[in-house]
Amino acid sequence: MVKFTALNKRNHFFRLKKEENCFTEKGLKVYIEENNDTNSKLGISISSKQTTAVERNKFKRRIKEAVRGLEEEKNFDIYIVGSKNNLNLKVNEMQKIISSHPKLIKK
């Protein structure tokens, strides 16, 4: 079970938003980079122009639950960008997409 804190510093978002950290599936963009902190950090973004506040908050709750369900020994910075197209994804679908990121696949 992954424990995480908020990813809330501007420079953290800019550091993560590189092409080598990005993985996109079903319109869900997942940026992941390994960190050396004691906790993983999670940032979630979805446009307010595309959805209502209720839908955005529901999406954020599902993402948090999907990330909590990951089984990882290392700590990561995770930034997830959603869109109107993936508001109806179930938690297990989101978890499958996040865990299929190349940096999370165990070798």
CA distance 28 to 96: 12
Structure confidence by residue, pLDDT tens digits, 68-95: 888 888 889 999 999 888 888 999 999 9
Q: What is the mean pLDDT of residues 11-30?
A: 89
pLDDT score recorded for residue 73: 83
- DSSP letter (8 states) at residue 51: S
User: Residue 54 sits in which domain range?
Assistant: 4-99
pLDDT at 107 over 70: no
Q: Is residue 81 part of a domain?
A: yes
CA distance 37 to 46: 26
Structure tokens at 80: 């997830």
User: What's 33's domain CATH number?
Assistant: 3.30.230.10
Q: Is residue 107 part of a domain?
A: no
Q: How many domains does the chain have?
A: 1
Q: Is residue 106 part of a domain?
A: no
Q: What is the mean pLDDT of residues 5-11?
A: 87
Structure confidence by residue, pLDDT tens digits, 34-69: 888 888 899 999 988 988 999 999 999 999 999 988
